[in-house]
């Protein structure tokens, strides 16, 4: 409901103005205030929904948001004739980490990898936890060459990062990354498939490397 404004009290603050003179502008003001309240409520609900859609372990976006966000960004890219790229990243030999050190250490590795990935992209980009040890990054307004540079920077940062975990000496992990650029295909799954194929080549070619589609 619109916020009530007392037409009898207001003239005390606006000497010389009769209540009847203020009725129309105050009606418009009430409508504007109500609209602002509605928009703020929508914004806070959206933020709450986004927060609820984060992976509780890594704080990356949950995969269930991927289809809607990537489809929307593809639509923006098509409409504005801007590039869009995707990175698909996999932690190398993650099963070995779990088998050797246990799942709590594996979880800590994933947390720190997600943190490093997020630090190497912009606030306008999107980082998803795509699978067990896989992360997918949507890079807006980024072509294949730029995306490959970002992926290589990310790979180097992760290889240099010492993972710290309770009870263990610091150790290092590496990642393999597949890179693909949106080429106009309307199906977001096609773009992800291209990145996945590039990731597969990175693994086949020795891991700890970047391959482009």
Helix (H, G, I), strand (E, B) or coil at 213: coil
Distance, CA of 105 to CA of 100 (rounded, Å): 9
Mean pLDDT of 179-203: 96
Kindly list the catalytic residues.
133
> With bands split at pLDDT 50, 70 and 90, how would you rate the model's confidence at 9?
very low
Is residue 33's pLDDT more than 80?
A: no
- Angle at which helices 188-204 and 66-80 pack, to 10 degrees? 110
- What is the pTM (predicted TM-score) of this model? 0.75
Distance, CA of 172 to CA of 165 (rounded, Å): 11
pLDDT in tens, 84-104: 999 999 999 999 999 999 999
* Residue 11: exposure state from Cβ atoms within 10 A (0-12, 13-18, ≥19): middle
Q: Are 199 and 176 in contact (CB under 8 A)?
A: yes
Bigger pLDDT: 39 or 48? 39
Nearest to 89 by CA among 116, 64, 67, 69: 116
Phi, then psi, of 33 in degrees rounded to 5: -65, -40
Is residue 22's pLDDT more than 80?
A: no
Bridge-based pairing of strands 61-62 and 175-181 is unpaired
Helix or strand (DSSP H, E) at 60: none
pLDDT at 48 (0 to 100): 46
Mean pLDDT of 29-56: 68
> With bands split at pLDDT 50, 70 and 90, how would you rate the model's confidence at 15?
low
Provide the CATH topology of domain 61-212: Alpha-Beta Plaits (3.30.70)
pLDDT in tens, 108-118: 999 999 999 99
| Residue ranges with strand state E in the chain | 61-62, 84-91, 126-129, 134-140, 162-163, 171-172, 175-181, 210-212
Domain ranges of the chain: 10-52, 61-212
pLDDT at 94 (0 to 100): 95
pLDDT at 26 (0 to 100): 66
Nearest to 126 by CA among 105, 18, 118, 91: 118
Nearest to 125 by CA among 73, 88, 177: 73
Which residue is associated with the tokens 């070619």? 205
pLDDT at 46 (0 to 100): 53
Percent of the chain with pLDDT over 70: 82
pLDDT at 2 (0 to 100): 45
pLDDT at 20 (0 to 100): 61
> With bands split at pLDDT 50, 70 and 90, how would you rate the model's confidence at 167?
confident
Is residue 32's pLDDT more than 80?
A: no
């Amino acid at each position: 409901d619109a916020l009530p404004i007392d037409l009898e009290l207001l003239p005390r603050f606006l000497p010389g103005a009769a209540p009847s003179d203020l009725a129309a502008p105050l009606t418009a003001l009430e409508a504007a205030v109500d609209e602002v309240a509605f928009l703020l409520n929508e914004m806070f609900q959206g933020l709450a929904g986004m927060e609820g859609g984060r992976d509780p372990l890594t704080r990356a976006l949950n995969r269930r948001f991927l289809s809607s966000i990537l489809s929307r960004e593809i639509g923006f890219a098509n409409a504005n004739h801007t590039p869009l790229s995707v990175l698909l990243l996999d932690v190398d030999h993650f099963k070995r980490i779990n088998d050797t050190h246990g799942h709590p250490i594996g979880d800590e590795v994933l947390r720190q990898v997600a943190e490093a990935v997020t630090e190497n992209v912009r606030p306008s980009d999107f980082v998803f936890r795509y699978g067990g040890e896989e992360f997918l990054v949507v890079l807006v307004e980024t072509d294949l060459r730029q995306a490959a540079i970002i992926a290589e920077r990310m790979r180097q940062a992760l290889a240099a990062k010492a993972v710290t975990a309770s009870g263990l000496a610091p150790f290092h992990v590496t990642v393999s990354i597949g890179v693909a650029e949106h080429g106009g295909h309307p199906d977001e799954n096609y773009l992800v498939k291209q990145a996945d194929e590039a990731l597969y080549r990175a693994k086949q070619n020795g891991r700890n490397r970047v391959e482009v589609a």
